[in-house]
Amino acid sequence: MQLSIVEIAKPADANVIIGQSHFIKTVEDVYEVLVQAVPGIKFGVAFCEASGPCLIRHTGTDLALVEAAAEAAGAIGAGHVFVVILGNAFPVNVLNQIKSVSEVCTIFCATANPLQVIVAEQGGGRGVVGVIDGSSPKGVESADDQAERHAMLRRFGYKQ
């Protein structure tokens, strides 16, 4: 078995969700839940087909994000893995809807941070072992940090 690290390239202001499902229908079902979740959402989704022609299936509402998702999926190259690149929405807006898609098995990450995917390769197949999401902690938050966290969540409208 060979392990490798795949850097995920995405637009600077985009968020990415990477998961695994079990069926080619994933592309259409994820598209449907995303457009229903956020009016006017911009995204790209790509799915690595694991049998038959083994194509990277793709769709979305923004060509550049579709291309970024297909490129990321191709770089990962693991069967049944899907990549969603969000342009004007956050994972918190769509994650539960994606998880509710019947063929979705797991979500590896949802982030705007720099992202690396750890991939194992064996006998012509590839699989995701895990992800490296962002940076390591630099300390424990202070009372001032807690106050800023509370204020930020309210500025963004997530808390009242």
CA gyration radius for the chain? 17
Q: Where are the domains of the chain?
A: 2-155
Beta strands in the chain (DSSP E): 2-7, 15-21, 43-48, 56-60, 81-86, 104-111, 115-122, 125-133
pLDDT tens across 80-121, in order?
999 999 999 999 999 999 999 999 999 999 999 999 999 999
What digits encode the pLDDT tens for the residues 8-66? Answer: 999 999 999 999 999 889 999 999 999 999 999 999 999 999 999 999 999 999 999 99
Q: What is the pLDDT of residue 21?
A: 96
Q: Alpha-carbon distance 95 to 99, whole Å?
A: 6
Is pLDDT of 70 > 90? yes
d(C-alpha 26, C-alpha 107), whole Å: 13
pTM, to two decimals: 0.93
CATH fold for the domain made of 2-155: hypothetical protein tt1634 (3.40.1520)
CA 45 to CA 145: how far, in whole Å? 35
> Does pLDDT of 160 surpass 90?
no
Task: State the alpha helices, DSSP H only, in 1-90.
Answer: 26-37, 63-76
SS3 17: strand
